[in-house]
Amino acid sequence: MTTVTASTTVPTTGSFWVMHHECHNDGIKIKIHAERTPIGGVAVANRELTVSVLDSADAVLYEITGSLDPLAKDDYGQSIYLPDVAASVTGGAVEIGVVDPEAEVPTDSDAYGDSTFTSGLLQCFTEGGTTYTSDDYTRCVNALRNTNIPYGYLISGGTQVLDLLGKLGALGIEANVPVKIDLPGTLTPAAAIAMAQSLNFDSHLIHFYWAPLEANDPMNGVRAVWGTGGLNAGYSCARNARVNAKGFAPKNFPVAGKEWPINRTAIKQLYAPSEQELSDLAKSQVNPVLFQNYNGGGRYVFTDSLTSARTRVSYKKLISVAEMSATLDNIVSMYASELVQLPMATFRRRMEAFLEDLLTGAEASGWLVPAKNLPGNAAFAYTVRPSEVRPADLVLIDYQVSYDGVARQVIVQQTLTR
């Protein structure tokens, strides 16, 4: 009689075990079948079998055919040991371990010949508690840090846990990736500012949004208040996908203003900040998401595009500049890594040619504009030179750029004359 039980630890008894590493909290089923062998004559036990992993609705997720014999190979000399096949077929999503290396499927098994064994619904893990510790947040952020999957933005996902927000922000600064943080729309401007200041960020890569908006929740069919940082990141990704012939996206156009409406239904603004409150939000580098009137009608939009960099004059206070700056830094750093271990003269020659092409393309794409502080009002300048202290093996790359700004504020004056 075949039996299969769920366990969160590796079993030490039985013939083999199966672990499903993908998340199915409604459970899975295991199906086992071994063909009759030989086809004719007296049947004997079979060491080859097929293990299928099914979801709770009996849809097959994975089907793995292999042998319980660690030395089993196919006609081409490739291993058909069940654990090896599982790793190859599922990419690690399903792990199989053989407890008994002499195990086989006997002829009287309910998984042999004309019979196929199917387990009941197996719960592969327990949900655990509903609270998280600082160690949980650290583990989550470390998973993002160590992933091989590239990403262009981090979002807070609506969390209000300062510990997690602090760790996400620190990761974004470390990885040179913008972080979109939502301040709860149910807070007053003063409370939203206090929450942002409590995180104590001073970085052009951290972007705060405050959206006091209630709308229909398409997922749950109720009214809800939720953030817009994820939407801003999504809009940014869509914008970044449109690159020109030189490979540059229009990152000099911030995701803010009339062209980027909040695409929700039945929006209701819960709070109308005063002019003083709007000024306080801007001084605190918090971007309100509010209703704005335009020619032809109004809409709910991102009304500002400020970073959390504590500066009044530096262009680092602008999200568009932060994104262009992070992009160029990443491109230059990665290319420099490609040239590491080349002869010094070769490194300098290739790096200078690369910078010239890259920064010329950035200027032609509208990212850079003439600078009053560079010779000839050039939009950029750069040097690639050996270190004076370690000229044999250390290269110093210094590049200066003048980014295009953003028309955040406008003063309109009308004069009557005759």
230 and 296 in a single domain? The answer is yes
Rounded to an integer, what distance in angstroms lies between the CA atom of residue 371 and that of residue 381? Answer: 10
* pLDDT at position 1: 54
89 and 140 in a single domain? The answer is no
CB 359 within 8 A of CB 399: yes
Question: Which one of 118, 153, 171 terminates a domain?
Answer: 118
Count of structural domains within the chain: 3
Asked, for residue 125, whether it belongs to a domain, the answer is no
Question: Which one of 87, 118, 149 terminates a domain?
Answer: 118
Q: What is the pLDDT of residues 212-224, one digit of tens each?
A: 999 999 888 899 9
153 and 175 in a single domain? The answer is yes
208 and 341 in a single domain? The answer is no
pTM: predicted TM-score of the whole model, two decimal places: 0.72
User: What domain range includes position 377?
Assistant: 329-401
Asked, for residue 418, whether it belongs to a domain, the answer is no
102 and 177 in a single domain? The answer is no
318 and 371 in a single domain? The answer is no
20 and 58 in a single domain? The answer is yes
242 and 345 in a single domain? The answer is no
Angle CA 11–131–19, to nearest 5: 20
95 and 184 in a single domain? The answer is no
The DSSP H or E segment spanning 357 is helix 344-364
Tokens, residue 164: 């997690």
Tell the burial category of 82 from Cβ atoms under 10 Å away from its Cβ (0-12, 13-18, 19+): buried
Beta strand 117-118 pairing with 28-33: antiparallel
- Going by C-beta distance under 8 Å and a sequence separation of 6 or more, which residues neighbour residue 98? 15, 16, 68, 70, 81, 82, 83
In order along its 418 residues, the chain shows pLDDT tens digits of: 566 766 666 777 778 888 888 877 788 999 999 999 988 788 999 999 999 999 989 999 999 999 999 999 998 999 999 999 999 999 989 999 998 888 899 999 999 999 999 999 888 777 667 788 899 999 999 999 999 888 999 999 989 999 999 999 999 999 999 999 999 999 999 999 999 999 999 999 999 999 999 999 988 889 999 999 999 999 999 999 999 999 999 999 999 999 999 999 999 999 999 999 999 999 999 999 999 999 989 999 999 999 999 988 889 999 999 999 999 999 999 999 999 999 999 999 999 999 999 999 999 999 999 998 899 999 999 999 999 999 999 999 999 999 999 998 899 999 999 8
Rounded to an integer, what distance in angstroms lies between the CA atom of residue 377 and that of residue 137? Answer: 48
Asked, for residue 189, whether it belongs to a domain, the answer is yes
342 and 296 in a single domain? The answer is no
Asked, for residue 92, whether it belongs to a domain, the answer is yes
* pLDDT at position 2: 67
Asked, for residue 28, whether it belongs to a domain, the answer is yes
Question: Which one of 264, 297, 322 terminates a domain?
Answer: 322
159 and 42 in a single domain? The answer is no
* Cα separation values, 392 from 218, 335, 343, 383, Å: 61, 20, 10, 17
Asked, for residue 2, whether it belongs to a domain, the answer is no
111 and 213 in a single domain? The answer is no
Rounded to an integer, what distance in angstroms lies between the CA atom of residue 61 and that of residue 81? Answer: 20
